[in-house]
C-alpha cells in the first residue's frame, strides 16, 4: 500500500478518468436488448417487468439470459454475448429448459449460418460445434425452483456460497439475477399467518415482513456482488372485476366497440397494473416497464400470424410505446 513516507503518492490518482471510464464500460457494460433497449441498464439496476398473463414477460427474461450466457467469441466466431453467469429463481415453476435451448440454438445457428456464407468450412463438425458450445453456455445458467416464500428466503441465503463455488469452477462472474414472478406467492402469504412459534417476542411472518426479508437478503448480496436484477411480476387483478371503480358508458355490445374500449381506457389500465407488493419491494425497484398484448397481429412468412406485444416504460416514464413479437429465436422489434 502507499508508503507513509511518501505523502505525494496520496495526491497522485490511481488512474485517469479516461482509463476509469474505459474500465467501467467494459466491466459493467450496458444492456441494450429489445424491448428493454430504450434505457441503458447496468449492474445495480433493479428492473420490474409487469404485465397481465399472456404478455411475454418470461420471454424477455429468457432473451436477456441467452444474451448473458453466450460467449463473446468462440473459435474465431463472434457471438457478442457477455459470457457471464445468470442466476434464475423460478418461483412460478413454469420454466421450460427446452425453450431456453431453442433460443440459444437459434442464435448459434444464426452466427454459424452467416459465416458459412463466406465459406469458412465449418459444416462438417458443425453439429458437435453446436453441442459443445451449447453445453458451455448452459453451464453458466444457474437455476433454482422454490415452491414457497420460505424456500425462496433459504435459497437467497445460500445463493452467495453457491455462486462463489460455481464462479470459481467456471472462471466467470455473475451478471444477472432473474426472478420469475416475484408475486407468485402473494395470495398464500397474504392470507396465511402462522402462529408465533416458541416465545412470543419473535416477529410474525406477515407478507410485509417476508418481502422485507427478501429485499434485505438481496441487498446484502448485491453489496458484495453487484448484479442487474430483472424481476417479472404478473398482474393479478382483472380490470373489469370491480364495476364500481370503472365508469362504463352504455354502448352497444359490438365487437369493434369492445376492442376499442378495452385498449383505450386509461382507468382500466391503472386498475390492471395496480401495485400489490409492499413498499419494501417498491423502494427496491429502480426501473419499471409494463407489457401488454395488443389485439393486432402481424404476419411473418416464417411463423405465420403472430400476436403483437406492446411495451411501455413507466419508471422513468417515457412517452414511447414499442411493439414487438416473439419468434423462435426470441424477441424482435416491429417498427
Partner 1 sequence: MEERGRVAGELERLIDGGTPHKSAVASQVPMPPPRNPRSAIHAKSPITKELGEEDVGMEEVSVVIDGRQPSWLNGVELLEDAKWNKHVLPTGCKGIDILLGGGLREGQLTEIVGPSSSGKTQVCLHSALGVADVHLGVVLFLDTCNSFSPHRIAHMVNSQSDTLVKEGKEGRLKRIMSSILCHSLFDIFELLDVLHQLECKLKHQVKSSGNRIRLLIVDSISSLITPILGGKNSQGRLMMITTGILLKKIANEYNLSVLVTNHMVGGEGGSLKPALGESWKNIPHVRLSLSRDQGSNVCNVSILKHTIIASGRTAKFVIDN
Closer residue to partner 1 in complex, CB, 92/322: 92
Closer residue to partner 1 in complex, CB, 61/313: 61
Cα separation, 180 vs 91, in Å, equals 6
Shortest distance, position 312 Cβ to partner 1, whole Å = 19
Shortest distance, position 187 Cβ to partner 1, whole Å = 4
Q: How many helices (H) and strands (E) does the chain have?
A: 11, 11
Let me know if 107 is exposed, middle or buried by CB neighbors in 10 A (0-12, 13-18, 19+): buried
Shortest distance, position 115 Cβ to partner 1, whole Å = 25
Shortest distance, position 217 Cβ to partner 1, whole Å = 9
Closer residue to partner 1 in complex, CB, 217/313: 217
Closer residue to partner 1 in complex, CB, 28/248: 248
Closer residue to partner 1 in complex, CB, 85/313: 85
Shortest distance, position 164 Cβ to partner 1, whole Å = 7
What beta strand segments (E) does the chain contain? Answer: 46-51, 73-74, 77-78, 85-90, 141-145, 174-180, 228-234, 287-300, 304-315, 321-327, 330-333
Cα separation, 322 vs 313, in Å, equals 9
Shortest distance, position 112 Cβ to partner 1, whole Å = 20
Shortest distance, position 165 Cβ to partner 1, whole Å = 9
All 3 cell numbers of residue 51? Answer: 404485465
Cα separation, 180 vs 156, in Å, equals 14
Cα separation, 259 vs 26, in Å, equals 46
CB 102 within 8 A of CB 110: no
Cα separation, 103 vs 88, in Å, equals 16
Let me know if 111 is exposed, middle or buried by CB neighbors in 10 A (0-12, 13-18, 19+): middle
Closer residue to partner 1 in complex, CB, 1/98: 98
Closer residue to partner 1 in complex, CB, 31/85: 85
Cα separation, 226 vs 149, in Å, equals 23
Say how many residues make up the chain. 335
Amino acid at each position: 500500500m502507499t508508503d507513509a513516507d511518501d505523502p505525494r503518492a496520496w495526491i497522485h490518482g490511481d488512474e485517469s478518468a479516461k482509463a476509469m471510464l474505459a474500465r467501467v464500460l467494459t466491466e459493467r457494460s450496458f444492456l441494450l436488448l429489445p424491448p428493454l433497449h430504450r434505457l441503458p441498464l447496468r449492474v445495480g439496476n433493479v428492473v420490474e417487468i409487469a404485465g397481465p398473463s399472456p404478455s411475454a414477460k418470461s420471454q424477455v427474461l429468457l432473451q436477456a439470459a441467452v444474451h448473458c450466457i453466450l460467449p463473446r467469441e468462440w473459435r474465431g466466431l463472434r457471438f457478442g454475448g457477455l459470457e457471464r453467469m445468470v442466476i434464475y429463481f423460478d418461483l412460478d415453476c413454469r420454466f421450460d429448459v427446452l425453450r431456453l435451448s431453442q433460443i440459444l440454438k437459434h442464435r448459434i445457428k444464426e452466427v454459424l449460418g452467416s459465416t458459412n456464407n463466406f465459406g469458412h468450412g465449418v459444416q462438417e463438425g458443425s453439429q458437435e460445434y453446436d453441442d459443445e458450445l451449447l453445453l458451455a453456455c448452459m453451464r453458466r445458467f444457474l437455476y433454482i425452483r422454490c415452491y414457497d416464500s420460505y424456500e425462496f428466503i433459504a435459497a437467497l441465503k445460500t445463493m452467495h456460497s453457491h455462486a462463489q463455488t460455481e464462479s470459481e469452477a467456471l472462471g466467470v462472474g455473475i451478471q444477472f439475477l432473474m426472478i420469475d414472478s416475484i408475486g407468485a406467492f402473494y395470495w398464500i402469504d397474504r392470507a396465511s399467518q402462522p402462529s408465533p412459534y416458541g416465545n412470543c417476542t419473535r416477529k410474525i411472518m406477515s407478507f410485509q415482513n417476508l418481502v422485507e426479508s427478501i429485499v434485505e437478503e438481496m441487498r446484502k448480496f448485491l453489496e458484495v456482488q453487484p448484479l442487474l436484477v430483472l424481476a417479472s411480476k404478473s398482474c393479478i387483478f382483472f380490470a373489469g372485476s370491480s364495476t364500481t371503480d370503472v365508469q362504463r358508458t352504455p354502448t352497444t355490445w359490438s365487437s369493434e366497440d369492445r376492442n376499442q374500449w378495452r385498449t383505450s381506457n386509461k382507468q382500466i389500465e391503472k386498475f390492471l397494473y395496480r401495485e400489490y407488493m409492499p413498499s419494501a419491494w417498491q423502494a427496491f425497484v429502480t426501473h419499471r416497464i409494463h407489457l401488454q398484448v395488443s389485439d393486432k397481429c402481424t404476419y411473418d412468412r416464417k411463423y405465420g400470424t403472430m400476436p403483437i406485444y406492446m411495451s411501455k416504460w413507466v419508471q422513468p416514464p417515457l412517452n414511447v410505446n414499442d411493439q414487438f413479437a416473439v419468434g423462435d429465436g426470441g424477441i424482435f422489434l416491429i417498427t
